[in-house]
Amino acid sequence: MKKKHLFMGLFCLIAYFSCSDDKKSDGEPYDPSKPAEITTFMPDTGRIREKFIIKGTNFGTDKSKVEVYFKDNDGSRKATVIGIDNSTIYCLAPRQLAGNNKVEVIIDGKTSSLDKTFHYIVAENVSTIAGKPGTGGTDDGTLVDARFSYIQGIGALGDETVIVFQRDNPAVRLVSVKDNKVITLQNAFQAGKPAVSKDKARVYAAGQNSPHVIYMYTKESGWSPSRIGQLGTDVTGIVRALAFDETEEWLYFCDATGKFGRYNIKTQERQILNEKIRSGTSDVSYLAYSAAQDCFYWSAQSAYGIYKISKDGQTVEAYAGFNGNAYQDGYVQDAKFVQPNGLTIDEDGNIYITEGHGGHIIRKISIKEGYVSTIAGTYNAAGNEDGSPLTAKFNYPYDISYDGEGGYWICEGWGVCIRKYAVE
Q: Which of 68, 90, 120 is the last residue of a domain?
A: 120
Neighbours of 192 (CB within 10 A): 27
255 and 379 both lie in a single domain: yes
Supply the pTM of this predicted model.
0.86
Residues 141 and 94 in one domain: no
Question: Given 90, 120, 150, which residue is the final one in a domain?
Answer: 120
| DSSP H or E stretch at residue 203 | strand 202-206
- 249 and 284 both lie in a single domain: yes
pLDDT in tens, 371-389: 999 999 999 999 999 999 9
Amino acid at 78: K
**Do 154 and 74 share a domain, yes or no?**
no
Instruction: Specify whether 263 is located in the same domain as 313.
Output: yes
User: What is the total count of domains within the chain?
Assistant: 2
pLDDT at 1 over 80: no
Residue 11 within any structural domain of the chain: no
Is residue 83 a contact partner of residue 97, using CB atoms and an 8 Å limit? no
pLDDT for 160-184, tens place per residue?
A: 999 999 999 999 999 999 999 999 9
Q: At residue 12, does pLDDT exceed 60?
A: no
Q: Which domain covers residue 351, as residue numbers?
A: 124-423
The answer to whether residue 402 is domain-embedded is yes
End residue of a domain, out of 105, 120, 135: 120
Among residues 361, 229, 344, 355, the alpha carbon closest in space to that of 296 is found at 344
In this structure, is residue 185 part of a structural domain? Answer: yes
Given a cut of 60, whether residue 214 has pLDDT beyond it is yes
Kindly report, residue by residue over 237-261, the tens digit of the pLDDT. Answer: 999 999 999 999 999 999 999 999 9
- Euclidean distance between CA atoms 51 and 61, whole angstroms: 19
| Residue 85 sits in the same domain as residue 132 | no
Do 243 and 373 have their domain in common?
yes
**Same domain assignment for residues 231 and 192:** yes
Residue 92 binned pLDDT confidence (cut-offs 50, 70, 90): very high
Instruction: Tell how far CA 280 is from the center of its chain.
Output: 30
- Judge if 345 and 221 occupy the same domain: yes
CATH number at residue 405: 2.120.10.30
